Amino acid sequence: MISKEIHSSQSAGFLGQLDARLREGWQSLAPTLRDSVLAWLEPFADAHGGYRGRRGSADTYYTDFGVRLLDLADAPADGFGRVDRYLRSLRRATDLVDLFSRLNAVRLLRRREIAMPWPENAGEVLRAQRAEGGGFAQPGRREPSAYLTFLAALACEITGDAFPEPASAAAAVRALRRPGGGFADRPGEALAQASTTAAAIAALGLIGAADARETEEAARFLVGLQGPDGGIRAHMDAPGADLLSTFTALTCLAGVRALNVVRLASVGRFILDLRTQGGFCGSMADPECDIEYTYYGIGGLCLLQAHLNGRRE
């Protein structure tokens, strides 16, 4: 049963724990996978030092995923130096997604002894996206979002600032809980989804409002989304699994020590089936790869491998 697998997490912080799991799993991945990562990244490198998506120029969102892969692959210093120059060329952060992307990239650059300040208007961005009843909302909106509340909690974890009004934020996130234990992203949305459930559970943990029963039911919901192909579907009505939902679900389940209840071999095969010559794609219906999905693919395999390593021990 899931309840037997869930244990209290250590107090290293969400990102610190995730970093540790990914690094542990990385060391045990096949050399062909590890040796390919930097080559996969190169086509997405921008002339200005950042990383881009499938089209267009570099932005902070994809640059964050690029830095995560550089860090995991222990890339040479010049790769991090290019990102440093790109980030220093940018203007002020515009919204929570942009802010978190910059903060996480800077966090990883600081690990490489590159001294960069946090974005100067971090507090301003957080204040601008506070939701009326608690939590955080899309720019210009009033209703809370589980995903953006999660990003705000991560931003505060990175900078060391106190999360504002955690009790009201927890109540706002809990109002997004749906029958079956999953969470929708915003009020009015009927369907609970894998990625927003993972975000909601992580946000509640980050702000000190985790509840064991809610966590167990959310884990059961996520496990129930595993399809015949082994991957995790976005929601109960989704026709097939995708890599975003799979990675976020694995991250959540690993965080609450419930990966044992997933069909591990089949989810591993699902992830590997999405590998292409240029990295990883998002799903069988979306065969084009990019940096974000490549991170989810490598990260998912690292989480599985770290879990297997721990089980052997």
Rounded distance between C-alpha atoms, residue 212 and residue 60, angstroms: 35
The rounded distance, in Å, linking the Cα atoms of 251 and 141 is 28
Encode 99-138: b = buried (16+ Cβ within 10 Å), e = exposed: bbbbbbbbbbbeebeeeeebbeebeebbeebbbebbbbbb
Q: pLDDT tens track of the chain, all 313 residues?
A: 565 544 434 346 999 999 999 999 999 999 999 999 999 999 999 999 999 999 999 999 999 999 999 999 999 999 999 999 999 999 999 999 999 999 999 999 999 999 999 999 999 999 999 999 999 999 989 999 999 999 999 999 999 999 999 999 999 999 999 999 999 999 999 999 999 999 999 999 999 999 999 999 999 999 999 999 999 999 999 999 999 999 999 999 999 999 999 999 999 999 999 999 889 999 999 999 999 999 999 999 999 999 999 865 5
DSSP, collapsed to helix, strand or coil, labels residue 209 as coil
Domain parsing of the chain, residue ranges: 2-308
End-to-end distance of the chain based on CA atoms, in angstroms? 21
Architecture of domain 2-308: Alpha/alpha barrel (1.50)
- 205-228 burial by CB neighbour count: b if 16+ within 10 A, else e? bbbebbeeebbbbbbbbbbebbbe
Query: Which residue type is seen at 233?
Result: R
Q: Model pTM?
A: 0.95
